[in-house]
Structure 1
Amino acid sequence: MTLGRILVIASHVFREVIRDRVLYLVGIFAILIIGSAGFLPQVAAGTQDKILLDLGLAAIGIIGLIVAIFIGTGLVNKEIEKRTVLVLISKPVSSAEFIIGKHIGLSAILAVLLILMSAIYFLVLLVSKVNFSFVSILTSIFFLWLELSLITAVAILLGVFTSSLLATLLTLAVYLMGHLSPDIVKLGQLAKNPTLETITRGIYLVLPDLSRLDLKNQAVYGLTLLPDSQALFLNFLYGLVYIVVLLAIATLIFSRRQF
């Protein structure tokens, strides 16, 4: 496996997604956040600052999620359906290089999107004179990128062996259940049913606990995150290891497919 071939595949993904006009989503975000900044003081006097903070982070997350799921599920699946994958695997490109390159390419797109939307977000907050913690919001956005990168890995894995539509639905289900996984465990404990408790714990262990990467509430309420640097590092490591495992499984499945 060579870094050069991985970067070539990643740059191809990056250029292809850019040509699909995905950056138009940044314009949609700008219209939404600027419009909200002008409208909220008229309907939510006294609480508009917190609503604007929450709305901005939520919009960044939703737009990023749309890109991660709808583009991520088609990264490999589209190559398989169009049979262009035959050209790629006939060249000296390994399955690992192909999968990792695709993931890095889309993760780079997500990073660019988040940077552009964050710049607009911070500018609107400054113009609107909203009190906010720059460090908390920046940390929250970084962990949001890590979460979206993990969801991209899930989308690629599911796209390797299912149709685009099914992969999209399953990835969305993983996202929703990943945010609810701690509540699912608590539900199993409250039921006091050993079988149900075992099932809920199994779901918790298999699915990624995305709540560990969700720092939106801390950012909105300006809670400092620096004293929890050890917990932040462990959560970062958790997300990174999960991505590596998902890509390894995707590579294994892809390498064993017959084209």
Structure 2
Amino acid sequence: MNLGRVWVIAVNVFREVIRDRILYLLGVFAIALVSIAALLPEVAAGTELKILLDVGLAAIGLTGLVIAIFVGTGLVNKEIEKRTVYVLIAKPVSKAEFILGKHLGLSAVLAVLVTAMTLIFVAVVSFYRAPFPLASILIAALFQFLELSLMVAVAILFGVFTSSLLAIALTVGIYLMGHFSRDLVSLGNLSQNPVMERITQGLYLLLPDLARLNLKNQAVYGLAALPPASELWANAAYGVLYTALLLAIATVIFSRRQF
């Protein structure tokens, strides 16, 4: 694999997405957050800080998720539909370099957006002049980026072999099921049916356990609730490895497509 070619593809994706006025979302995010912060004292006296923390982190995750899904599913699919993939195939670029470059480019955009939104979020919260778990919020934001990067890989995987609309629907489904995969295991155990237990356990192993990367509640309700450092490292490694596996599968499927 030539990292230089991967870098060129990633930079092109980054520039294309930025040109699509994605950064205007930062202005919308800032205006919405300031508006909510101004209204909260009127409707939630005494609890406005925690509500603002909860809403702010949720807004960061939701904004990033929309970009990851709607842009990610079209990264490869649009190349196929517009037939520009033929030009890429004619060049000395491997399928793995193409998929990895697309993923890194959009992930870089999300990294910039998450960082900027987190800084805006911290600045708005700081106006309350009340203590808040800054370190916990930063860690939660980092894990939100890891989750979004994983979802980009999911979106690319489905975009390789399905239409854009179906890829979006499937990616949303994986996101929802990934957050409730642990509940599936609990449901299987409650059924006391061996077949159902094996099915739910199999789904849990197959689906991404996105709860590992969701530290929003811990960030809102205190630093003491965060998992220990060893568990955080293990969860981060899980997210990176699962992302790599999805990209490997996408590469295999893409390489077997007939254009």
TM-score range, shorter chain: over 0.9
Matched with 2:219 is 219
Deviations 1:36-72 (A, max 9, x none): 1100000000111100000000000000000000000
Matched with 1:124 is 124
CA distance in 2, matches of 1:129, 1:68: 34
- Checking the alignment, whether the CA contact within 8 Å between 1:49 and 1:131 is kept in structure 2 is no
Matched with 1:107 is 107
Shift of 1:130: 3.6
Matched with 1:96 is 96
Moved more, 196-205 or 38-47: 196-205
What pairs up with 1:16-165 in 2 under 5 angstroms?
Answer: 16-165=16-165
**Would you say 1:192 and 2:199 are equivalent positions?**
no
Shift of 1:222: 1.9
CA distance in 2, matches of 1:39, 1:6: 46
Match for 1:118: what amino acid? T
Deviations 1:69-108 (A, max 9, x none): 0000000000000000000010000000000000000000
Match for 2:93: what amino acid? V
Matched with 1:182 is 182
CA distance in 1, matches of 2:18, 2:226: 35
Match for 1:141: what amino acid? A
CA distance in 2, matches of 1:246, 1:234: 18
Give the TM-score normalised by the residue count of structure 2: 0.98
- Checking the alignment, whether the CA contact within 8 Å between 1:136 and 1:225 is kept in structure 2 is no
CA distance in 2, matches of 1:166, 1:5: 30
- Checking the alignment, whether the CA contact within 8 Å between 2:219 and 2:226 is kept in structure 1 is no
Give identity over the alignment, percent.
64
CA distance in 2, matches of 1:258, 1:72: 22
Moved more, 125-134 or 109-118: 125-134
Match for 2:129: what amino acid? K
Q: Secondary structure of 1:157's partner? A: helix
CA distance in 2, matches of 1:122, 1:214: 19
Matched with 2:236 is 236
Match for 1:140: what amino acid? A
CA distance in 2, matches of 1:61, 1:227: 20
Deviations 1:168-187 (A, max 9, x none): 00000000000000011100
- Checking the alignment, whether the CA contact within 8 Å between 2:218 and 2:226 is kept in structure 1 is no
- Checking the alignment, whether the CA contact within 8 Å between 2:135 and 2:223 is kept in structure 1 is no
CA distance in 1, matches of 2:50, 2:226: 21
Give the TM-score normalised by the residue count of structure 1: 0.98
- Checking the alignment, whether the CA contact within 8 Å between 2:133 and 2:222 is kept in structure 1 is yes
Aligned residue pairs total 259
Shift of 1:131: 2.2
Moved more, 216-225 or 67-76: 216-225
Deviating beyond 3 angstroms after TM superposition, the runs of 4 or more aligned structure 1 residues are: 224-227
Flag structure 1 segments of 5+ consecutive residues without an equivalent: none
Match for 1:80: what amino acid? I
Match for 1:48: what amino acid? E
Deviations 1:122-141 (A, max 9, x none): 11011122421111000000
Shift of 1:24: 1.1
CA distance in 1, matches of 2:118, 2:74: 26
